[in-house]
Amino acid sequence: MNAAGASLLFLLLPTAGLFPTGPPAPAGEAEPGIRLFEAQRYPEARAALEAAVQQDPRNGLAALYLGRVYYEENELDRAVTWLEKASALDSGSSSAAYWLGRAYGQQAIRGSTLVRIRLVGKIHRAFDRAVQIDPDNIDARIGLVEFFLRAPAFMGGSESKARAQAQAIREREPLHGHRAFARLNEIRKRFDLAAAEYESAIQEFPTRREPFYWIEWSAIDRRDWPAAFGAMERLLTAEPDDAGPLYEIGKLAALSGLQMPRGESSLHRYLSHEPKGMEASIAMAHAQLAAIHERRGERREAREEYSAALRLDPGLWEANEGITRLR
């Protein structure tokens, strides 16, 4: 990830809840595809949702989830096309506007400087629209905090506006208010104050896992690998039956090249787990194992793991990129 990509990292991560539940169970043609999406069976979900939009081209919910499928499969142009369509079909959907902002943000990470400049306004408008529709959309408000902190002043950046959004979050969701104010301090490089916010969140909400992940993501953004591993070890100690930290330890090993034996064993343990909600898929666990093997120069084992990932999820970008590298 380049520097511009790293600066947008927090814009693209789940915020209001680590495993968001989304809207209530939908009815109609979109329902089978949405259930497949929630089970992370993305190729099957895509086929079902494509059939739903062919049957009813004005089905905004089907368009929204089809866009999200393409987002998960890293087909960003298609994701944006369908999320724009979902926003147009259902102008009252805060979720559609929010995910459109996420997709624009991912395009900005992958794009050139000119692409990022072109997308800045679109990212802002999408998140702002999501908040206008639903003032309690905490994910979208966090998106605005990140936008106001990261964008240059002449493109809409404003620390005072970011602080106003952080305060609005704190009034609605005190847990996520800690995160918002931590981000304000991190941008100012007051990492001691940011750490205090995260620790306050852990103390005030002892049953919630999110603060540990926020510490991890912050550490990844700074390339502080000991702090990232430490956050996941703390969570694993607090919640020994939680498989999520096992995947994260494996991912951190793949990203950093550190603690690779620990990362490999953690991922093998995760493979015996059935992911729920927005937890990483089994395909992603195979891809992270492959990345560890690739770092070690174990090309045959890496190819086997990438192939295992692609058998489960043929559209998995990380696995396709890995297989290409190893040819």
pLDDT digits (tens, 9 = 90+) for 301-311: 999 999 999 99
- Same-domain pairing of 10 and 146: yes
- Same-domain pairing of 144 and 242: no
% of the chain residues with pLDDT over 90: 78
How much is the average pLDDT of 11-37? Answer: 60
Residue 14 has pLDDT above 80, yes or no: no
Domain membership flag for residue 51: yes
- Same-domain pairing of 3 and 122: yes
Boundary of a domain, candidates 141, 158, 175:
158
Boundary of a domain, candidates 104, 129, 158:
158
User: How many whole angstroms separate alpha carbon 198 and alpha carbon 183?
Assistant: 10
- Same-domain pairing of 146 and 47: yes
Q: Is the dihedral of CA 26, 30, 36, 40 positive or negative?
A: negative
User: How many whole angstroms separate alpha carbon 30 and alpha carbon 65?
Assistant: 8
- Same-domain pairing of 268 and 152: no
Q: What is the pLDDT of residues 231-269, one digit of tens each?
A: 999 999 999 999 999 999 999 999 999 999 999 999 999
Helix then strand count (H, E) for the chain reads 18, 0
Q: What is the pLDDT of residues 112-145, one digit of tens each?
A: 889 888 999 999 999 999 999 999 999 999 999 9
Residue 210 has pLDDT above 90, yes or no: yes
pLDDT of residue 6: 37
Judge if pTM exceeds 0.85: no
Domain membership flag for residue 126: yes
- Cα–Cα distances (Å) from 23 to 8, 20, 94, in that order, read 26, 9, 11
Write the CB contacts of 283 (distance below 8 Å, at least 6 apart in sequence): 308, 309, 310, 312, 313, 316, 319
Domain count, the chain: 2
pLDDT of residue 315: 82
CB 122, CB 86: distance < 8 Å: no
82-86, 98-102, 117-121, 209-213 — which is least confidently predicted? 117-121
Residue 24 has pLDDT above 50, yes or no: no
- Same-domain pairing of 27 and 151: yes
- Same-domain pairing of 129 and 231: no
DSSP secondary structure string, 40-57? Answer: T-HHHHHHHHHHHHHH-T
Domain membership flag for residue 44: yes
- Same-domain pairing of 146 and 242: no
Residue 10 has pLDDT above 60, yes or no: no
Domain membership flag for residue 64: yes
- Same-domain pairing of 145 and 14: yes
- Same-domain pairing of 131 and 11: yes
- Same-domain pairing of 234 and 92: no
pLDDT of residue 150: 86
Domain membership flag for residue 128: yes
Q: What range does the domain containing 22 cover?
A: 1-158
46-55 burial string, b = 16+ CB within 10 Å, else e?
bebbeebbee
- Same-domain pairing of 137 and 240: no
Q: Which of 63, 68, 110 is nearest to 90 (CA)?
A: 63
Domain membership flag for residue 187: no
Q: What is the CATH number of the domain that holds 30?
A: 1.25.40.10
Boundary of a domain, candidates 106, 133, 158:
158
